[in-house]
């Protein structure tokens, strides 16, 4: 994520991965304030064994796109809700990538962070039968938890 201030949103991705038993790391890597850290992180990610990168950032949210430019790994982008523009700036910054450098862009805020965790898990599950079963169980539990009576 681009800042420690993004953690309140991005922790939902982490909690989702926890629930699914997917190992991960969390780092603050700012495209603007720590550009060299971003270069090292993105160019070294695959060699370190990472399989998917989730990038969460707000405002002029270049982090996921710049990461995607420097790795062949799948990059998922979470637009963090900004104060000034309520995350529309973040969304448009992340989603409007030029053809050739994809970022799988999720919804603004908490829902996007949760879904980034789920989507990362689904990507990893294509090569992991045990994770596939955990993901199916998570989805089934969610379905079972939806009340039919709103009261
Ligand atoms: C972005 O600027 C970060 O991703 C964050 O969403 C936003 C504001 O950062 P702080 O000023 O709170 O550190 O780079």
Q: Which CATH class is domain 4-137?
A: alpha beta
Smallest CA separation from ligand 1 atom 2, residue: 58
| Residue of 1, 3, 79 to test ligand 1 pocket, by largest number of atoms within 8 Å of CB | 3
Q: Are 105 and 74 in contact (CB under 8 A)?
A: no
Q: How far is the CA of 3 from the centre of ligand 1 (A)?
A: 5
Contacts of 99 (CB under 8 A, 6+ apart): none
> SS3 for 135?
helix
Paired residues of 58 in beta bridges = 80
58 CB-side CA count, 13 A: 21
Q: Find out whether 128 and 138 touch, Cβ atoms under 8 Å.
A: no
Q: What is the pLDDT of residues 7-40, one digit of tens each?
A: 999 999 999 999 999 999 999 999 999 999 999 9
Give the distance, in angstroms, between the CA of residue 51 and the centroid of all CA atoms in the same chain. Answer: 12
33 in a labelled binding site: yes
The pLDDT score that the predictor gives to residue 136 is: 98
* Pocket flag, ligand 1, residue 5 (CB < 6 Å): yes
DSSP code string of 48-101? TT---EEEEEESS--HHHHHHHT-SS-EEEEEEPPTTTTTHHHHHHHH-PPTTS
Three-class DSSP category at 105: strand
- 104's enclosing H/E stretch is strand 104-105
Give residue 41's pLDDT band: very low, low, confident or very high (50, 70, 90).
very high
How far apart are the CA of 107 and the centre of ligand 1, in A?
17
Ligand 1 atom closest to the CA of 33, numbered from 1: 14
pLDDT of the residue at 9: 98
Sequence ranges of the domains in the chain: 4-137
Share of the chain above pLDDT 70, in %: 100
Give me the mean pLDDT over the 79-88 stretch.
98
């Amino acid at each position: 994520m681009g800042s420690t201030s993004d953690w309140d949103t991005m922790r939902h991705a982490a909690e989702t991965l926890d629930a699914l038993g997917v190992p991960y790391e969390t780092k603050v890597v700012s495209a603007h304030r720590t550009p060299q850290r971003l270069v090292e992180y993105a160019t070294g990610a695959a060699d370190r064994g990472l399989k998917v990168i989730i990038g969460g950032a707000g405002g002029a949210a270049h982090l996921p796109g710049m990461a995607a430019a420097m790795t062949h790994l799948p990059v998922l982008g979470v637009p963090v809700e900004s104060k000034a523009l309520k995350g529309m700036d973040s969304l448009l910054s992340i989603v409007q990538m030029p053809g050739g450098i994809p970022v799988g862009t999720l919804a603004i805020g908490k829902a996007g962070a949760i879904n980034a965790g789920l989507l990362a898990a689904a990507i990893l599950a294509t090569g992991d039968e045990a994770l596939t079963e955990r993901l199916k169980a998570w989805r089934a539990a969610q379905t079972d938890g939806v009340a039919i009576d709103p009261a």
